A and B are shown apart, each in its own frame.
Chain A
Amino acid sequence: MSESDNNISIMADWVQLNHVNKVYSNGTVALQDVSLHIKENEFISFVGPSGCGKSTVFKLIAGLTEATDGDIRIMGMSPAHARKQSEMAFVFQDHTLLPWCSVEDNVMLPLSLRGMPKKQRLEEAARVLELVGLKDYKKALPRMLSGGMKMRVSIARALASRPKLLLMDEPFGALDEITRQTLQQELLDIWQREKGMTVLFVTHNVFEAVFLSTRVMVMTPRPGKIAEEISIPFAFPRDDSYHATPEFSEYVREVSAALKH
């Protein structure tokens, strides 16, 4: 981890926001003076109450909307440019699978949209479905899968394009607690295996943020800003036993306290 941090000194920041403001056309000040410096291979969680601008940060990074003020760089490129280069992938709370396409076709969607040859597409699909443990379901239709499985397919689809930056906006929000914990563990395993992938993760769940992240960004609303950045230096690989450590409770207490400001 720390090694890969050091050997890229020129392009130190994978994601960089400098004094970004976002005012929507209806006058809502969604973000005020937000600065972020995210490096390769980090796992960053954004926590904060509803309406504090977490999704807005993601929309800005994905180039879906423009910043009112300030500068955004993704691997040295503008957000729109980075997206065109297929450096980013997305997972939403809603699985957003096409109901008429098989699991395999759904996973290959980003690849076929950019015109990758079929043979290569199938190989990639096989690879990522193996990663999320669904290789036996590639011909199934989404409606035959449980909520947790659908979310796995959604994650597989994001991984299929081998993104350098994975944006996840409350991906586990609609799942039950047990499925959620399983998927958290799987996500961490995948993140460690896919070297050089940075994950940005929105959640309302402090435990989830502390379990997964290398750093937690605590945001406050009206106007949305980053109130505190909390490092979670606990070593990887992390598993269930981490939940029981005194460090874990300490981090949770720290993040919760920051949220209450």
Chain B
Amino acid sequence: MDNVHESMASGITGTTSKPVSAASGQKKATRGWLTKLSQIVPPLMAFIVLIGGWELIVTWIGTPTYVLPKPSDIYLAASDNFSSLMASAWKTVWESIYGFAISVVLGVSGAIFLGLSKTIEKSIYPYAVILQTIPIVAIAPIIVIWFGAGMNSIVIIAFLIGFFPMLSNTLIGLNSTEQNMKNLFTLYNASRLQTMWRLRIPAALPFIAAGMKISCTLAVIGAIVGEYVAGIGGGEGGLGYAITVAATRLQTPYLFACGLSASLLGVAFFLLINAFSKWLLSSWHESEMKVDN
């Protein structure tokens, strides 16, 4: 976080004053690299120690592969079945993206609708909260009954799990505008829609971005859960489906490979959305920091 602040600060002064000399700029860049390196090296060391330890201990004890595979077993399982692993991952990627996109669109527009009137908000929002408390695995079978096994149901489950964080975050953001600002808009005869569009939605952007960061990882989880209950085979299944199949066949190394792929996917998705939100809030990072810290 420290070097992020630093680079932002230098970015700002850079626009108003003359840029620093090339030499000191270079020095700064080197220092930046060093701090980056010092952030990467310790977790990398921990990773190597963990993987090495795991490999050695499991080999030494002689645990059967179907109970606990060694890292090398997992790697072999992944590379041997690389094309089917990629196909499953790709499937899950799309399910997550669709589910996430729908939860963003409906969450934000739903919150804007609720935010337009206090009466509407008060009468509908409680139901959204109640809906949120129902565990997703409890509704999942009903969704399969309604929409059939396959893509549709999985996307709906991924959407449902990410929807509420989007809705509530956006609504909090829309209601976060200061009284003074609202007064100002009233005094200049702004209509309700003008206030929404010119004041409340821009003010809610950092909250929307924070909601997206939560929802994107939830959407991957939703897609995997959806595939557990609604996945279909025939080369069409995603990672969640592949995991259930691998489990019934005791292909534990491949199961691990699928699980790891799923978590990598979640991380990648998060980093992507994180970068997007940085870009979205670039013109007003003050508040992004408020949400971040």
Given A96-B181, A113-B198; A141-B283 close (CB under 8 Å): yes
A83 close to chain B: CB less than 8 A = yes
Q: Which residue of B lies closest to A90 (CB)?
A: B187
Cβ contacts A43-87/B at 8 Å (1 or 0 each):
000000000000000000010100000000000000000011010
A132 close to chain B: CB less than 8 A = no
A98 close to chain B: CB less than 8 A = yes
Q: Which A residues touch B188, using CB under 8 A?
A: 86, 109-110, 113-114, 161
B185 close to chain A: CB less than 8 A = yes
Q: Which A residues touch B283, using CB under 8 A?
A: 100, 141
Per the bound structure, the CA–CA distance linking A127 and B190 in Å amounts to 23
B194 close to chain A: CB less than 8 A = yes
Q: Indicate if the CB atoms of B184 and A99 lie closer than 8 Å.
A: no
Tell which of A64, A94, A98 has the most Cβ of chain B within 10 Å: A98
Per the bound structure, the CA–CA distance linking A64 and B16 in Å amounts to 40
Q: Which A residues touch B205, using CB under 8 A?
A: 100
Per the bound structure, the CA–CA distance linking A144 and B287 in Å amounts to 14
What's the minimum C-beta distance from A166 to chain B, rounded to whole angstroms?
12
Tell which of B178, B181, B183, B187 has the most Cβ of chain A within 10 Å: B187
Q: Which residue of A lies closest to B283 (CB)?
A: A100
What's the minimum C-beta distance from A188 to chain B, rounded to whole angstroms?
24
Q: Which residue of B lies closest to A167 (CB)?
A: B187
Question: Which chain B residues in 151-183 approach chain A with CB under 8 Å?
Answer: 178, 180-181, 183
What's the minimum C-beta distance from B204 to chain A, rounded to whole angstroms?
11
Per the bound structure, the CA–CA distance linking A199 and B189 in Å amounts to 20
Partner among A88, A90, A99 whose Cβ is within 8 Å of the Cβ of B286? A99
Q: Indicate if the CB atoms of B286 and A143 lie closer than 8 Å.
A: yes
Cβ contacts B271-288/A at 8 Å (1 or 0 each):
000000000000110110
Given A143-B286, A144-B12; A98-B199 close (CB under 8 Å): yes
Cβ contacts A165-199/B at 8 Å (1 or 0 each):
00000000000000000000000000000000000
A92 close to chain B: CB less than 8 A = yes
Per the bound structure, the CA–CA distance linking A168 and B162 in Å amounts to 46
Given A110-B188, A144-B12; A100-B202 close (CB under 8 Å): yes
Q: Indicate if the CB atoms of A98 and B202 lie closer than 8 Å.
A: yes
B79 close to chain A: CB less than 8 A = no
B186 close to chain A: CB less than 8 A = yes
Q: Which A residues touch B12, using CB under 8 A?
A: 144
Per the bound structure, the CA–CA distance linking A86 and B280 in Å amounts to 34
What's the minimum C-beta distance from A59 to chain B, rounded to whole angstroms?
9
What's the minimum C-beta distance from A34 to chain B, rounded to whole angstroms?
21
Q: Which residue of B lies closest to A80 (CB)?
A: B189
Q: Which B residues touch A161, using CB under 8 A?
A: 188
Q: Can you list 23 residue pairs at the A/B interface with Cβ under 8 Å?
A: A62-B187, A64-B187, A83-B187, A83-B189, A84-B189, A86-B188, A90-B184, A92-B180, A92-B184, A94-B180, A96-B178, A96-B181, A98-B199, A99-B284, A99-B287, A100-B202, A110-B188, A113-B189, A113-B198, A114-B189, A141-B283, A141-B284, A161-B188
* Given A88-B187, A141-B283, 18 more pairs with CB closer than 8 A: A64-B186, A83-B189, A84-B189, A86-B189, A92-B180, A92-B184, A94-B180, A96-B181, A96-B184, A98-B199, A99-B287, A100-B284, A113-B185, A113-B188, A113-B190, A114-B188, A143-B284, A143-B286
Residues of chain B having any CB pair with chain A under 8 Å: 12, 16, 178, 180-181, 183-190, 194, 198-199, 202, 205, 283-284, 286-287
Query: What 8 A-B pairs come out closest when comparing CB atoms?
Result: A110-B188, A100-B284, A113-B190, A96-B184, A100-B202, A113-B188, A96-B180, A90-B187
